Structure 1
Amino acid sequence: MSEKLDRARAYEEEKRTQTPEGSKCVFHLTPAVGWINDPNGFSRYQGEYHLFYQYHPYSTVWGPMHWGHQKTRDFIKWEHLPCALAPDTGYDGQGCFSGSAVEHEGKHILMYTGVLDRMEDDGRHTLRQTQCIAVGDGINYEKLPENPVITAQALPEGSSKEDFRDPRIWKEGDTFYAVAGSLGVDGSGQIALFSSADAGKWRFESILDANGGRYGKMWECPDFFPLEDSQILIVSPQFMHAEGLEFHNGNNAIYFVGSYDREKKKFLRKEARSVDYGLDFYAPQTVETADGRRVMTGWLQSWDNYLTPEEFPWSGIMSIPRELELRDDRLIQNPVRELERYRQNEVSHKGVTLSEKAGKTELEGVRGRVLDMTVEADVSRSDALTLHLAAGEGFETTLTYEKGKGTLTTDRTYSGLKKDLLCTRSMYVDAKEGKLKLRLLMDKYTLEVFVNDGEQAMSSVIFTPPEAEGIAFSCKGESSLDLVMYEIMV
């Protein structure tokens, strides 16, 4: 084990014991200490699910990337494990960037991007991103002496040597495959496909798909997997321009439904859609469960809106793991069913009448910041319906449906922010025959909304003081709703 990895492990162990009890999320993965971003290595290994992540233990802002590590049996209760990778070799000395993992013959194989970024003696700047392998037992991992196992020399001529990252490894039969993002000769994103018999020696197979300048620039964090009778490609484009309410400016997470031509090794895709329409969601990655479900998690933070309060010893939250299905060529996302085991203290209200004249309506027993709440509303006679969440002492975050626009909007303007950051985002929703169904998960600092049984997801973080637990409802016109709420206790 290297000195850098030893230091990181000792530091996180010391600091995590100093984190105040109850200061982090209850059922969402958060770090022991420091900064986290992209989920990495989401995989099944020896009957448990492991999740690694981009990690800088020494501060709550991005720094030289390590791989943090946790595991779970049910996607809800997470167990902290020691830091898995540190930037400690010549080829990854400036960062162990994003990647993935697969189980093989009792070993856990991690595939990641090593970053070399240095000034040479003659004044030249050298920047290279290469793909590397580490093999371990679920706790300790050894980097292959053959690393890096893939360099940009394997890519088509004219491809970038500086932007080549985020490998996604899987195994079919006796063959390993991996896709990775890079920039092509036209300066826009492409997804390269590689194969290997042993995960050590790799060969280039094809450009699986290419951006063509259509969706942003670099395509980060690709994930490529079968779902029902289709093939799914998820990518996280950089530098996108907003398009209506489907895509926003900057870093997005988008998906394509399509088919995979295995002979030509090409992905044939249909139109692109957003994975999540909220203010904070990026770099999702999936795993196949033992019972055949496809489960996804993403990073609940925006690169361009850093909200973490200064006094926090940690920064970064992973989304609730979500089960994926397909319906009419759309990804359907719902929280993993295991969450239902942790529901307690059910509160139910039926036939609640709301009116503009009555103003805000509070319901007995409906309050809290760690909850799972489903609201089914009749909005046929209202111009707008608003849910007031995390409310109290001048604080609130609102979720508003406007019938005339057909939109659902998250607004965290009054969530307690002290900086002029982006606070609102909207998406088009379908109020089916005047009915709207919303499932809300809140976990102290998170708000995840699933519309109409998972047709759309909208995720945002809010750093409102935890004692602001009020929940109320208001409308323009008249509305009625049924509600059921549970506390989540882990």
Structure 2
Amino acid sequence: MMNIDSMTTYDQSEQLAKAEAGVEALFQNRKDRWYPSSHIASKAGWINDPNGLCYFKGRYHAYYQLNPFDSVWGACHWGHVSSEDMVTWRREPIAMAPSFEAEQDGVFSGSAVVSDDGKLVIYYTGHRWRNGVNEDEGNLQEQCMAVSDDGIHFSKLGVVVPCPDDRILHFRDPKVWKQGDSWRMVFGVSTPEHRGEIWMYTSKDMVNWTFEKPIYQHPDPGVFMLECPDMFPLDDKWVICYSAMGLHPQGFEARNHNNAGYVIGTWQPGGDFQQETEFHLWDDGHNYYAPQTFQGPDGRRLVFGWMSPFTEPIPMQEDNWCGQFTVPREVTLAGDHLRTQPIREYSQLDQGQQDFGPIELGVNESRDLLADAQTADIEMEIDLARSQAERIGLEIHRTSNGDHTLVCYDDQLERVVLDRHCNTYGDRGYRTAPLDKSDGKLKLRIIVDRGSIEVYVNDGLEVMSSYSFPAEGPRAIRLIAESGEGKALIPSLTISQIGTIWQESDR
């Protein structure tokens, strides 16, 4: 049983009030040209990592890193939204703000669990700059604890896992779960030798934690930190996931500033993790980082990722907001990697489906499908075995000046491509996802919001999530076939508008 009666509590009411006022001030001048209607984002201000994902007292809760005073990273608080069904979400009061010394420079990322006595317990990283100003001399980071009866109002109980070595400059992002009669905590560490590791601690009472062992070390000595680690069972396997800092690009892989992925293996409490697969990206797109999973009340493993705008320019910052989550995805095991696809409930948002298939396009032929699509849920099949075009796909967010983002199958690469080279706003470049062509067909599901695109390949065997900021004017969707020796065959293609996830008062 958790004994917290003797622990100090820290009041944060004044800091929370200032944060709420900060978000409201930014919201008054928020522009919505790219603001998402079907993805979680803060009402205003900057967001990053998903935090504290859980199901508690009949509602799903999603917390997130929030700067309530600006649309750039900084002043980390915990924002909060909740939902009965993961379809319609409501905004909740800001959950946590910096209010005592160990967290004076930020309430950093963490996770949530339900205690045996029915309380929601948050474990998170309290953050301070060593020099009091910035990260030039490293961080002072410790794992902290907060408790709530309703998931909305929290009592902070201070530090429960202090940093054990003053030479450690990164020590953060606890993920906690219960196994048997013990609680387990993993978090990311940059060792004194600057190696990226994940450490495991254990506890019987949720308050007193004991170091057990490093459960994972990244094999690349250039990877100096493993942020936002997660560890969970799936069927008869265990998955360790992390966001690697210092990982260098190799071919099509790991092209982003930092890259989130996982390894799969086996593990028994007290033993070592036995890795059985290579590192695999969660998502092959431009903008995906810091995913966190949790178990739903029906046993499903669910995940949210942060669509991370690491690369300049970041045009949405001019609009008084920055950052959003991906749609919630269900995680299942698919051999040596994970399958992730939108939760089945997400289709409840679909409206006014239009059926365009089957379609046959000639060489270099294109066809306009929709003149203006602010949002779209697209399901498309391409007959690879009988098509002869070099590229077959969709120009999305196409505006009158020629701006668009292309999602296509590229026969020369034999991969699915998301290409932003025609974008006026934001970072450009392209990303690709590998493809198994053995069955001669390709299934794509493409989720389009005002400023983002998510591409699910063959029922989520691969995914690409990227920002796409349309230019001014209507946003068309065009089907294209490029070059090659013959036609493109599309057996089926449907497009639905996506309704908003927000209650009317929360948009």
CA, structure 1 residues 27+126, in 2 after alignment: closer, same or farther (shift >3 Å)? closer
SS of the equivalent of 1:250 reads coil
After TM superposition, the structure 1 = structure 2 runs for residues 332-371 of structure 1, keeping only pairs within 5 Å, are 332-357=339-364, 359-363=365-369, 368-371=373-376
CA, structure 1 residues 97+443, in 2 after alignment: closer, same or farther (shift >3 Å)? same
C-alpha distance after superposition, 1:155-205 (max 9, x if no partner): 7xxx85221111001122332211000013442111000111222111111
Q: What residue is the counterpart of 2:78 in the other structure?
A: 67
SS of the equivalent of 1:12 reads helix
**Equivalent of 1:487 in 482, 497, 500:** 497
Q: What residue is the counterpart of 1:35 in the other structure?
A: 46
The RMSD of aligned alpha carbons is: 2.2
In 1: Cα distance, 2:63 partner to 2:142 partner: 19
In 2: Cα distance, 1:13 partner to 1:392 partner: 32
Q: Which amino acid aligns with 1:489?
A: G
**Is 1:135–2:165 an aligned residue pair?**
no
After TM superposition, the structure 1 = structure 2 runs for residues 169-248 of structure 1, keeping only pairs within 5 Å, are 169-213=176-220, 216-248=223-255
TM-superposed deviation, 1:19: 4.5
In 2: Cα distance, 1:306 partner to 1:435 partner: 37
**Is 1:12–2:23 an aligned residue pair?**
yes
Q: What residue is the counterpart of 1:378 in the other structure?
A: 383
C-alpha distance after superposition, 1:84-136 (max 9, x if no partner): 1111211110111111111122211111111122548xxx9684111000111
Q: What residue is the counterpart of 1:294 in the other structure?
A: 301
CA, structure 1 residues 73+170, in 2 after alignment: closer, same or farther (shift >3 Å)? same
Mapped contact 2:420–2:430 kept (Cα < 8 A)? yes
Q: Which amino acid aligns with 2:457?
A: V
**Equivalent of 1:405 in 413, 417, 426:** 413
C-alpha distance after superposition, 1:343-392 (max 9, x if no partner): 121111222011125x22123x5751311111101133222213111112
In 2: Cα distance, 1:160 partner to 1:72 partner: 42
Q: What is the aligned-residue identity percentage?
A: 32
TM-superposed deviation, 1:226: 0.7
Q: What residue is the counterpart of 2:281 in the other structure?
A: 274
Give the TM-score normalised by the residue count of structure 1: 0.92
Q: Which amino acid aligns with 1:289?
A: G
Greater relative contact order: 1 or 2 (C-alpha under 8 angstroms, separation 6 or more)? 2
CA, structure 1 residues 267+48, in 2 after alignment: closer, same or farther (shift >3 Å)? farther
Mapped contact 2:56–2:151 kept (Cα < 8 A)? yes
In 1: Cα distance, 2:273 partner to 2:203 partner: 18
- Single out whichever of 259-268 and 221-230 deviates more from structure 2: 259-268
Mapped contact 2:49–2:291 kept (Cα < 8 A)? yes
TM-superposed deviation, 1:451: 0.4
SS of the equivalent of 2:277 reads strand
Mapped contact 2:372–2:474 kept (Cα < 8 A)? no
TM-superposed deviation, 1:275: 0.6
Mapped contact 1:205–1:265 kept (Cα < 8 A)? no
Higher strand share: 1
Q: Which consecutive aligned stretches of 4+ in structure 1 deviate over 6 angstroms post-superposition?
A: 20-23
CA, structure 1 residues 131+116, in 2 after alignment: closer, same or farther (shift >3 Å)? same
SS of the equivalent of 1:190 reads strand
In 1: Cα distance, 2:478 partner to 2:86 partner: 30
Q: What residue is the counterpart of 1:456 in the other structure?
A: 462
Mapped contact 2:355–2:494 kept (Cα < 8 A)? yes
**Is 1:423–2:434 an aligned residue pair?**
no
In 2: Cα distance, 1:16 partner to 1:389 partner: 28
Q: Which amino acid aligns with 2:494?
A: V
SS of the equivalent of 2:407 reads strand
TM-superposed deviation, 1:32: 1.1
Q: How many residues align?
A: 477
CA, structure 1 residues 464+401, in 2 after alignment: closer, same or farther (shift >3 Å)? same
**Equivalent of 1:149 in 132, 135, 160:** 160
SS of the equivalent of 1:290 reads coil
Q: Which amino acid aligns with 2:37?
A: V
SS of the equivalent of 1:63 reads coil
CA, structure 1 residues 292+461, in 2 after alignment: closer, same or farther (shift >3 Å)? same
Q: What residue is the counterpart of 2:441 in the other structure?
A: 435
Q: What residue is the counterpart of 1:447 in the other structure?
A: 453
CA, structure 1 residues 119+451, in 2 after alignment: closer, same or farther (shift >3 Å)? closer
CA, structure 1 residues 196+265, in 2 after alignment: closer, same or farther (shift >3 Å)? farther
Mapped contact 2:215–2:273 kept (Cα < 8 A)? yes
TM-superposed deviation, 1:467: 4.0
Mapped contact 2:45–2:69 kept (Cα < 8 A)? yes
Q: Which amino acid aligns with 2:382?
A: A
CA, structure 1 residues 263+125, in 2 after alignment: closer, same or farther (shift >3 Å)? closer
In 1: Cα distance, 2:28 partner to 2:72 partner: 20
In 2: Cα distance, 1:426 partner to 1:126 partner: 35
TM-superposed deviation, 1:436: 1.2
Q: What residue is the counterpart of 1:109 in the other structure?
A: 121
C-alpha distance after superposition, 1:142-165 (max 9, x if no partner): 111xx3111221x7xxx8522111
